[in-house]
Amino acid sequence: MRSTVGSSRTLPLPRPADASAVETAPTRPPGVGSSEPARSAPRRRWRRSFWGEAWRWATTLLLFAVLAATVAGVLLIAAIYRQARTDQAGPAAAIVVLGTAQWNGRPGPVLRARLDHALDLYRQGLAPTLIVTGGSMPGDAYTEAEAAAAYLTEQGVPPGAILFENEGRDTWETMRGVARLAAADGLGRLLFVSDGFHLFRVKLMARDLGLAALVSPAPASPIRPGGGGEFAYAVREAGGVVEQMLRRFV
């Protein structure tokens, strides 16, 4: 029997890992793959100068003003066109013919078209009285109102049915003269006759003067609706409307 006393058994030692299999842990920048946030270098904020900021705001406001003026202008011209195509002819105390060019006592084509339309309304019995308007320019022998009255009497209107406002040299002066005449004669609602493009401003002035106004465009005017001439006059009228609105603050 083999004795085991004093004998020993040698245990194998663990083999070392191959050096080629040992990977070196990569070096990570701070904050990558860890819960610690990365620290970035502080950025320097660029700030505009006072004049740069002022220029930016001035440019923005200017562009906004141009856009607003363009939109307002388009809407105003659209309103002028709409009024030009709206006939409000109805019973009134008097028919007012807005004056325009006359030639040595004879109405020009535009004034004659307005007078013919007013004459037609008068013959329909819409008003018992016609008011002719318009003063004279330097060198004229007749006023626009005198030329208009002469034409109407030739067409058979009794002179007693014609009233004169013959001092106005522009629409505003004429409208003020008509307001004084209406107040003196106790006239109520007035029916204004002119070219269509003119009537939006006429109604605005009548309202400012406290006049009850209807308007009726002259259909046979040489300044035809829809033509290039009408657009040019409508643009001019838009300027007149702005001028009239500014009068409220002066």
pLDDT, residue 85, reads: 94
Examine residue 47 and state whether it is found in any structural domain, yes or no: no
Cα dihedral: 54, 58, 61, 63 (round 10) = -140
Using one digit for the tens of pLDDT, what is the confidence trace for 51-81? 878 888 888 888 889 989 889 889 999 999 9
Q: What is the mean pLDDT of residues 140-146?
A: 94
**Domain encompassing residue 155:** 82-247
Examine residue 162 and state whether it is found in any structural domain, yes or no: yes
Left (φ > 0), alpha (ψ -120 to 50) or beta: where does 236 sit? alpha
> Above 50 in pLDDT, residue 5?
no
pTM of the model: 0.76
Examine residue 25 and state whether it is found in any structural domain, yes or no: no
The pLDDT confidence band at residue 2, using thresholds 50, 70 and 90, is very low
**Where is average pLDDT lowest: 19-28, 55-64, 94-103?**
19-28
What span, in angstroms and rounded, lies between the C-alpha atoms of 81 and 76?
A: 9
Examine residue 105 and state whether it is found in any structural domain, yes or no: yes
pLDDT, residue 193, reads: 98
Examine residue 193 and state whether it is found in any structural domain, yes or no: yes
Using one digit for the tens of pLDDT, what is the confidence trace for 165-207? 999 999 999 999 999 999 999 999 999 999 999 999 999 999 9
Examine residue 42 and state whether it is found in any structural domain, yes or no: no
Examine residue 243 and state whether it is found in any structural domain, yes or no: yes
pLDDT, residue 123, reads: 97
Q: Can you give the CATH number for the domain in which 105 is found?
A: 3.40.50.620
* The two three-digit tokens of residue 71, written as one number: 């939109």
> Above 60 in pLDDT, residue 18?
no
Examine residue 191 and state whether it is found in any structural domain, yes or no: yes
Mean pLDDT of the chain: 86
pLDDT, residue 19, reads: 47
Q: How many domains does the chain have?
A: 1
